[in-house]
């Protein structure tokens, strides 16, 4: 990370953004051309190597993306469902191999068979309508169950403009210290996986001295299997935006940036529509009428890089740099985006703010467990009889979530990956021992994360799952630190060779590799991938025996 590049990237303000300009330049051919990158380097006074280096990192900016017409989802939920081969074969009747790319999780985990074409996502029975889709006569809309166990805070009817007005007026009337106090009282922890207290971040940024501060909504946490962020962006956008506005009031930030996954094109449209509605009502811009509060919102569309779910990599990305993880300190609340104090929270965390202020921090803290307060969204995949998004009070038995809400499993499964690719692999026998909260999962050797549930069917070989997992990890590594960059690659090579019968794996060597990843990686990407691998080796050791030797 270069502080000088951060400053240069901000010389035109946030309205004219280097990273966004790269994406615009790539729209015609799938990758920005040499002339476009040279021009951007001149305009932002940034070296050509920096612009080229950044563009070459992203799936949808790199040279290899030129000419791609359609993209097949290769997320874990779709892989386990076993339908993507059919999707690939069907598309090959209409496109040549060079025109077909991949996207990692389109958020269609409730029905799979997912692919992306001309700015829209399709899934489920879409292959039966492929001719209409290619003629752009099919909207690609989908539907899934939405429900709750306990109070409906995030799954309540959409906040709408009346709700935004009410939340903002309450915060303005009672003051930013009141709003911060309510959030601290609620004891809400970040819903993106790390579980960091939201109130601490806001207070730290509030106390930082700077004329310029930012609130960033991390809508690029693309854990395969997790589509709760997609639900909130598409169906509860006003709650997310109101939460960002309150965070801006508390910290003194004048800009809120939504960094939204390229894989969620419909979410960009829905959120922009809500922003336009709030702006039209007079609540965005300089000096909101009758107040001294100034705040504005901007969407920046990501370009395909899982590592951007890590907050410092996301910050580098917005600046137009390679999205490599930064060392801390300094923490983003002191020196974040463009070296300015920045709060980065995920979609679900920000969306909870209206409910916290409306019902009171004490009420929110009365829900859940001692260390896991409030409610949590859960994503259930297509192996459940009622797949969908469900809001659950923290501390609810996992069996109750799966049986009462999900309707049980539609076929035999042997394990569930909960919490994304870095989450644990929970064997079916352990479901009864878990409750939906941070403590329970940690105590049992798993990770709650986004609380996404990706089922592994009985007939799916665990060696295939591990090879897929490590392939994902090595492909999505930012490459900054050696343990992750090299370790995930070596791990994938070993598992692939074992899977194909070329060689067995020395267990001691593999354990050493996992230790190196866990202890030596700079961030949770390399440091977290050993958890699910070890879970599989612990609970499915007999199945893996043919692939390892002592």
Are the CB atoms for 256 and 247 separated by under 8 Å?
yes
- Residue ranges of the chain with per-residue pLDDT less than 70: 1
Copy the structure tokens of residue 14: 């946030």
Are the CB atoms for 72 and 87 separated by under 8 Å?
yes
pLDDT, position 75: 95
Query: Any residues with CB less than 8 A from the CB of 459 and at least 6 apart, and which?
Result: none
- Together in a domain, 281 and 137: no
pLDDT, position 128: 94
Q: Is residue 371 part of a domain?
A: no
- Together in a domain, 425 and 524: no
Spatial distance between the Cα atoms of 165 and 167, rounded to a whole number of angstroms: 6
- Together in a domain, 261 and 356: yes
Among 411, 429, 457, where does a domain finish? 457
- Together in a domain, 339 and 399: no
pLDDT, position 374: 97
Q: How many helices, marked H, and strands, marked E, lie in the chain?
A: 25, 16
CATH number (domain holding residue 493): 1.20.1440.230
Pairing, β 255-260 against β 424-427: unpaired
CATH number (domain holding residue 85): 3.40.30.10
Are the CB atoms for 548 and 507 separated by under 8 Å?
yes
Torsion over CA: 321, 327, 329, 332 (sign): positive
Q: Is residue 391 part of a domain?
A: yes
Q: Is residue 319 part of a domain?
A: yes
- pTM reported for the whole predicted model: 0.96
Q: Is residue 449 part of a domain?
A: yes
- Together in a domain, 192 and 244: yes
Among 143, 178, 202, where does a domain finish? 143
- Together in a domain, 360 and 446: no
Q: Is residue 521 part of a domain?
A: yes
- Together in a domain, 392 and 405: yes
Q: Is residue 370 part of a domain?
A: no
pLDDT, position 294: 94
- For 210-224, write each residue's pLDDT tens digit: 999 999 999 998 899
- Together in a domain, 222 and 320: yes
When divided into structural domains, the chain yields a total of 5
- Together in a domain, 503 and 357: no
- Together in a domain, 381 and 420: yes
Pairing, β 413-418 against β 424-427: antiparallel
Q: Is residue 429 part of a domain?
A: yes
Spatial distance between the Cα atoms of 229 and 220, rounded to a whole number of angstroms: 9
Spatial distance between the Cα atoms of 472 and 466, rounded to a whole number of angstroms: 10
pLDDT, position 192: 81
* Residue range of the domain that includes 381: 376-457
Among 143, 167, 200, where does a domain finish? 143
Are the CB atoms for 360 and 367 separated by under 8 Å?
no
pLDDT, position 1: 52
Taking only Cα atoms into account, the Rg of the chain, rounded to an integer number of angstroms, comes to: 23
Q: Reduced to 3 states, what is the DSSP secondary structure of residue 373?
A: strand
In sequence order, the β-bridge partners of residue 255 are 214, 296
3-state secondary structure 450-465: CCEEEEEECCCCHHHH
3-state secondary structure 186-225: HCCECCCCCCCEHHHHHHHHHHCCCCCCEEEEEECCCCCC
- Together in a domain, 392 and 468: no
CATH number (domain holding residue 56): 1.10.10
Query: Any residues with CB less than 8 A from the CB of 454 and at least 6 apart, and which?
Result: 76, 77, 80, 109, 224, 225, 381, 416, 417, 418
Q: How many CA atoms lie within 13 A of 196 on its CB side?
A: 12
Q: Reduced to 3 states, what is the DSSP secondary structure of residue 409?
A: strand
Element (H, E) at 146: strand 145-149
- Together in a domain, 189 and 335: yes
């Amino acid at each position: 990370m270069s502080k000088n590049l951060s400053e240069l990237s901000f010389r035109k303000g946030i309205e004219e953004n280097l990273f966004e300009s790269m994406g615009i330049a790539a729209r015609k051919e799938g990758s920005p051309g040499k002339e476009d990158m040279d021009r951007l380097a001149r305009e932002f006074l940034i070296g050509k190597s920096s612009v080229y280096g950044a563009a070459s990192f992203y799936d949808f900016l790199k040279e290899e993306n030129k000419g791609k017409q359609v993209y097949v989802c290769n997320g874990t939920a779709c892989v386990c469902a076993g339908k993507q081969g059919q999707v690939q074969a069907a598309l090959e009747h209409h496109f040549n191999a060079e025109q077909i790319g991949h996207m990692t999780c389109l958020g269609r985990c409730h029905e799979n068979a997912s692919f992306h074409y001309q700015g829209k996502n399709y899934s489920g029975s879409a292959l039966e309508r492929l001719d209409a889709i290619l003629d752009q006569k099919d909207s690609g809309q989908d539907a899934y169950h939405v429900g709750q166990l306990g109070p409906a805070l995030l799954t309540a009817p959409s906040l709408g403009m009346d709700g935004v007005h009410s939340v903002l007026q309450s915060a303005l009337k009672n003051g930013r210290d009141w709003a911060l106090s309510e959030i601290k009282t609620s004891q809400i922890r970040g819903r993106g996986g790390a579980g960091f207290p939201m109130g601490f971040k806001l207070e730290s940024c509030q106390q930082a001295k700077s004329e310029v501060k930012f609130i960033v909504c991390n809508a690029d946490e693309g854990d395969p299997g997790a589509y709760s962020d997609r639900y909130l962006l598409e169906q509860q956008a006003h709650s997310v935006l109101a939460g960002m506005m309150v965070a801006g009031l508390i910290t003194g930030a004048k800009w809120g940036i939504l960094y939204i996954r390229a894989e969620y094109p419909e979410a960009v449209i829905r959120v922009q529509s809500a922003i336009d509605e709030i702006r039209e009502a007079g609540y965005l811009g300089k000096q909101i009428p009758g107040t001294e509060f100034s705040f504005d919102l901007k969407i920046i569309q990501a370009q395909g890089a899982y590592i951007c779910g890590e907050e410092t990599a996301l910050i580098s990305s917005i600046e137009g740099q390679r999205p490599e993880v930064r060392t801390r300190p300094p923490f983003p609340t002191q020196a974040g985006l463009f070296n300015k104090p920045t709060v980065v929270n995920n979609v679900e965390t920000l969306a909870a703010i209206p409910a916290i202020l409306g019902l009171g921090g004490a009420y929110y803290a009365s829900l859940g467990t001692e260390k896991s307060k409030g409610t949590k969204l859960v994503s259930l995949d297509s192996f459940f009889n009622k797949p969908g998004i469900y809001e659950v009070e923290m501390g609810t038995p996992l069996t109750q979530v799966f049986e009462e809400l999900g309707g049980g499993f539609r076929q035999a499964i042997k394990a569930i990956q909960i919490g994304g690719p870095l989450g644990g692999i929970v064997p079916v026998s352990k479901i009864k021992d878990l409750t939906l909260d941070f403590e329970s999962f940690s105590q049992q050797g798993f990770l709650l994360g986004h609380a996404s549930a990706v089922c592994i069917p009985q007939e799916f070989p665990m060696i295939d799952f591990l090879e897929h997992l490590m392939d994902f990890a090595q492909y999505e590594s930012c490459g900054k630190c050696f343990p992750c960059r090299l370790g995930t690659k070596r791990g994938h090579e070993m598992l692939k060779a074992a899977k194909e019968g070329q060689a067995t794996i020395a267990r001691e060597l593999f354990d050493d590799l996992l230790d190196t990843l866990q202890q030596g990686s700079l961030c949770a990407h390399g440091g977290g991938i050993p958890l699910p691998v070890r879970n599989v080796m612990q609970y499915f050791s007999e199945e893996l025996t043919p692939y390892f030797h002592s």
